[in-house]
Structure 1
């Protein structure tokens, strides 16, 4: 049983006309008839019945058609996968991301990648900027989505998103329910921060805004996990920091720590979210990058 004979049979089954089926496959009609005869000899039953008035499938042909279509489809996919592998368009891309990237960038990117390169898989890891860049440097990630533009000469980046920071406080905090708070109001407020190595861009943006206001932040505690920051803010009179996207999630959360986000102004602390990759990279990374949003969102 040859694949070309299955293709010929399926064309006959769809057209129910030998002339049209032969033209569709760019075959002479006698060649098409020979393909069918050889297939029927191989299967051992008649698949097509025809007379001077009509062409129709036999009951055996009706049953055979669905399985034959599956075989041909699988063979085509196998060929596509082989060609994709030869061109470097199959395999796995390891992508790091943070919360805003997971909400605003990855869904559309993955949908586009699946449409253009279905043989490419993506493994995703949510982590802060510092750990992402370390994983990118030592080969555990292929693409990172991080705050700030890295200065390392072996890295290339693209700006994807501008993300405002908000204050995160418990529902009983005296800021809860306010429309906005000047950044300078943080003077004297105990804050929950994180080790700078976790996200230097976010850390520096917060302290730069404080310097602009002429205030000194009071760091009551360092917590590297954003979820733990929310827990502390929910139960203590402290102020945490988060992206506006994560803050909105806290506002609508039905279970878990009861916190709320408060926009900060004068100045509004803004973070730039970049996609980052090694300057020397392979075709899998190129395929992923082609599917990233082209413009900068805010």
Structure 2
């Protein structure tokens, strides 16, 4: 069964006249008749009955017409979607993001993407930087919104949010809990809980750079890769953890229901930038559309402690 045979049959069904159907298809009547015969032989049923006075569909032909139209319409739609996807106007886009991006970047960018390109479907993942970059490398993600940017030719990147302060996280019984801010150098006398570097290299490095700038060595006695786990650990032990200011605000640290408190760090204030990162080779065509929606923002948001 060939696609052109389906088109020819549908035209015959519409015209119920071989001469008119052949003219529409730019075929001779013998060629059109031959196509119909090949289709009927492949199916093993008669689709069209004709006499010298009329052309009509058989019962099998009427049912086949319905199915044939669905097949042709589906193939037409598949061709349209394939073309739109190749041009980036349709398809799917998988985006990873962190908490600051979810608050300050994604709402406007996704609104623009939906308005401009409604046929692009979006899947969202909230992940830390390390898992996002791993997913980007293996193709699970198309765009990552992460702290810092990778120093590799495998990825391209663009800054979308900058100067996000980091804060210290302590339990309500910690002696810092009532303080509004603490100089970074005072961490010299504290036991700290920190995450593994591969979870978020940019945040890990920002913390250690601030320690080096104040000529102290952090005493890391506990590890917690999940931000929520850090809050739990400091609530039961006299430890100091770290979080971004947006995370501290989102989790209500310092409020009555929270068991942890966010304390500003000073001299220096560790800060982070958020970047959009995507693969340098063979990117999803829809990535460019999403990046254009990011570019439409009026300047980069700035967060201050």
Contact between 1:96 and 1:125, CA under 8 Å: does it hold in 2? yes
Distance of aligned partners of 1:197 and 1:294 in 2 relative to their CA distance in 1, 3 Å threshold: farther
Q: What is residue 125 of structure 2 aligned with on the other side? A: 125
Say which one has the larger Rg: 2
Quote the offset at 1:86 in angstroms.
6.1
Deviation by residue 1:12-67 (Cα, 9 ceiling, x = unmatched):
xxxxxxxxxxxxxxxxxxxxxxxxxxxxxxxxxxxxxxxxxxxxxxxxxxxxxxxx
SS at structure 2 position matched to 1:224: coil
SS at structure 2 position matched to 1:291: helix
Quote the offset at 1:247 in angstroms.
1.1
Q: Provide the C-alpha distance between the structure 2 equivalents of 1:250 and 1:169, rounded to a whole number of angstroms.
A: 13
Q: Counterparts in 2 of 1:106-125, with a 5 A limit?
A: 106-125=106-125
Contact between 2:253 and 2:262, CA under 8 Å: does it hold in 1? no
Q: What is residue 289 of structure 1 aligned with on the other side? A: 291
Task: Tell me the matched-pair count.
Answer: 222
Quote the offset at 1:212 in angstroms.
0.7
Report which stretch shifted further, 87-96 or 181-190.
87-96
Q: Provide the C-alpha distance between the structure 1 equivalents of 2:80 and 2:111, rounded to a whole number of angstroms.
A: 19
SS at structure 2 position matched to 1:251: coil
Q: Counterparts in 2 of 1:157-236, with a 5 A limit?
A: 157-162=157-162, 163-236=164-237
Q: Provide the C-alpha distance between the structure 1 equivalents of 2:144 and 2:86, rounded to a whole number of angstroms.
A: 26
Q: Provide the C-alpha distance between the structure 2 equivalents of 1:80 and 1:183, rounded to a whole number of angstroms.
A: 58
Deviation by residue 1:153-199 (Cα, 9 ceiling, x = unmatched):
12111111121101111122111132211000111211110111111
Contact between 1:81 and 1:119, CA under 8 Å: does it hold in 2? no
Contact between 2:235 and 2:260, CA under 8 Å: does it hold in 1? yes
Quote the offset at 1:254 in angstroms.
6.6
Q: Provide the C-alpha distance between the structure 2 equivalents of 1:123 and 1:186, rounded to a whole number of angstroms.
A: 40
Contact between 1:230 and 1:257, CA under 8 Å: does it hold in 2? no
Deviation by residue 1:58-116 (Cα, 9 ceiling, x = unmatched):
xxxxxxxxxxxxxxxxxxx9999787446331121111111111111111111111111
SS at structure 2 position matched to 1:187: helix
SS at structure 2 position matched to 1:175: coil
Distance of aligned partners of 1:80 and 1:116 in 2 relative to their CA distance in 1, 3 Å threshold: farther
Distance of aligned partners of 1:86 and 1:149 in 2 relative to their CA distance in 1, 3 Å threshold: closer
Contact between 2:165 and 2:245, CA under 8 Å: does it hold in 1? yes
Distance of aligned partners of 1:78 and 1:218 in 2 relative to their CA distance in 1, 3 Å threshold: same
TM-score (norm 1): 0.69
Quote the offset at 1:295 in angstroms.
2.6
Distance of aligned partners of 1:188 and 1:271 in 2 relative to their CA distance in 1, 3 Å threshold: same
**Alpha carbon RMSD of aligned pairs, Å?**
2.3
Q: Provide the C-alpha distance between the structure 1 equivalents of 2:255 and 2:214, rounded to a whole number of angstroms.
A: 35
Q: What is residue 149 of structure 2 aligned with on the other side? A: 149
SS at structure 1 position matched to 2:92: strand
Distance of aligned partners of 1:255 and 1:133 in 2 relative to their CA distance in 1, 3 Å threshold: farther
TM-score (norm 2): 0.68
Q: Give structure 1 stretches of 5+ with no counterpart.
A: 1-76
Deviation by residue 1:243-264 (Cα, 9 ceiling, x = unmatched):
1111112336878652111110
